[in-house]
Structure 1
């Protein structure tokens, strides 16, 4: 199959002049390099949105073998993916490449035939996804084939760039944007320690000095189970010392991710220190003056455990240490009772007979184990509280019972995506940390979570778990509806820039997770936050402090950004760039590296105001005129057109049948011309309304009918 396709490609190239010449040939540096004045930030590519041709060395083949095993190597949904690098090895020389159409038509790019080490030229459109610069290959209307694929010259993968984990961080420990110059490039870290091992194959590497990087199992060679290519593959055990780890640098808002591509990219384990797992406390709920037993399973794979100590601190004070006693591999220590409310954090230090030392957790700044000493009933804020920046709470993987009021129900879940969103949320106050998500899909209580209604006061028992960095009550065994129609907590007013710039698990964002929050005095800064060609139903808003994302697909409202290609729902309001919103409310969610607002209902959009547009009619109007709105009757939005023959202040208002003012659409100075503006009536009930215009000495009123 491979040789036949190559022959076909050779014949096509020999006889046809392709469209490649329509697009400029640029370097990877032209796409990636940021001007010096912008370094220290993470701006989009200077060629973002452009269609270009670019040449580079293939770092990983899109499929394992075009003839015998067509499984993709790099996972990214139903797409073919590779990374390319400038053959010179110059910085800013790496790039992610994707092809979205892998149908028979898409195969006419012959992208699936490229092999690691081959130098090829690709034609695609530049775009940004999750702060990572990528190109999407052109497949429509006609696929543009890969150039130079018929050449027989190959090179080895470039030698990896030697880096230290500290290169990815600033001196203050923050995300070092200047390391963007390594994005998409092949790098190597030596003498690293593993941690945060996940069942799917992900883990972290650390240098022992507080610097770490995520190891992302995007390659099928490093996935576990049926998703993987290597039977029985498991990531290194936590605390293992690796001689090296090499891979491709990708970026996210929460740090740099390294993607090892092939077997051999994860170096051998030099030595294995003791491994501590199954760290538990007893009791789960700790009261004043109550001793707490900490237990852990500690083993050493290439020797014996010589010593284990527990180090603990009360309310951030000096640490005390306790020797841990053992019974087989189970080690225990008892932390003495604390007389009053307190936060106790701790870690375990174990040493083997070779002197190798392991700390659990490996990051004792952000990830320490901790528990709360409480002299009152447990609340949602206790369960959500994660003060160190790990995202995990003191009750992670423990069963608890909580009480709260339902603030998001199925009535606030989208019917436009064809499914009810699993986003039932309860809240027990208005302060930080006081909201939590209920997992409706893992429930044996006998009460359907989807039957809960806004304002229900409920008691819920279940297991506290993390789902893609969002805390939820899982494995639910108890739901009791105590009362209904309770008032909802007031939303918390936040700044868009504060939440939009918050990194994953940072306290500044995490404290508002699953809570009802609002942003005020907003402008829509981007109708499609992910930029073409992708559209995942998210747009960006700003109150002047910076952008934050708004996710539309999981709410039950009229607002739409044409995520389905065209707005196929006639009763929706297509949002507009530069439109304004007085106040936007919803619950705060986290996904794909961003905190984002999820509005539930039409009433969450307060004062949406479309852009006043000037119609390009020939000449200036010779008289004042207020036209009949269209459509009329309407639901939920309509357009009002008007003309003014000379400049002046224009006031356009909406009234109900009692003559009460409903909304001011316009109150501003305008030049002579023809204008139109969209009116969103989603917050109103069906009925007759009036709109009036006043400018200079001209006044006119017209009637319109809202039918829902």
Structure 2
């Protein structure tokens, strides 16, 4: 640097390649050894450009490869010639453009009416844009996004996999340790063969490659928490409590940040993909509806327990088990599938069965018993009870029980066991589930040759309870499954030309 006149100094900077971000500061020392710096902190910067920018990497890459603002942030509107594929669209909550399956190759797009019309797989070319740094809620961090962009759509239905990089949890740890995870900021990435290793607070959970060398996993979260037009992922459920333990799966996620740390955000449930198509447990968003909590009921007529339905992320069938417990919830007194298939969201409590149960509990006529009840949902792999709201500072849901008081009534007739039925019928066994005995009821309007057979779920016969001619009437046949293992069984009746089949659940 040379003194041109008075207190004016000048310097000539070296030649820089095109698309190079340059940072500099000026430092001066006087005759007494005192040093001054301009700017006092940070640097001045400029960007070398003599043609249209042709890569997202030029927008995203910082000079040192570490966390920081885009070299084009604050540069105003600039001409570009960038082509890429939309890998996350407005239905996912955020819009992401990627040009290659490599670092620095993706960026958030501002939400406008034009960008919100884009869908995954659209190929676009951006010709003009401005780069902004969007603040992240509760952080000093920022996320780079393209705003005021002008673009054209080239084609639709393109394969997004060609621009989504596959990385490992070990790679993430190495990048984080070196402060270089900025390389993938704003990109959709893919992890292969990961498993759940921890459920945390605030909806976060930790995934790790099954072959990882590092003891640390990668934190997944459902909320990018941006204060800008970036938006947030379109997540409707708490994956923290629905990602299945002990399963190996692939996971796609957007690289962003929250609360001062990098986080990975799935776009929606389809981003968690188990090899066997079963990555999630049933969703815990069903609730009890009736009777109301602390209801008092006289068992002189039938009444119904009801609840809202649940769903399963993987599309598996969800079945329900209703349970009546002691007031302190330590003892399950009665449990039953909601219906023969277990798919109904209600359970009919018949006056006969309820009063028989109260008698077994030692409740006299005119007296009441106090109990609690709830419902459990299962998708065949996991069973989850209806629960309360998720707490940010823990990883457990609080079980919900409803209290109920039932008064034993005087029953003057037994509609099932008295008289002659007007049609053939096979009733649901009671109790169900059972251990190890249960009762099977059926009705015969006329004398018939009757066969009542038990099968396992492989269709193998395990027991024949009846094989004889029987008179008309209502019949109850006990079934003892002491020699059978836990599981679902099928019972089938054939009486003349009448046949009927139902399921029952043995739990030991």
TM-score scaled to structure 1, two decimals?
A: 0.34
Larger radius of gyration: 2
Q: Give the structure, 1 or 2, with the largest relative contact order (CA under 8 Å, sep 6 or more).
A: 2
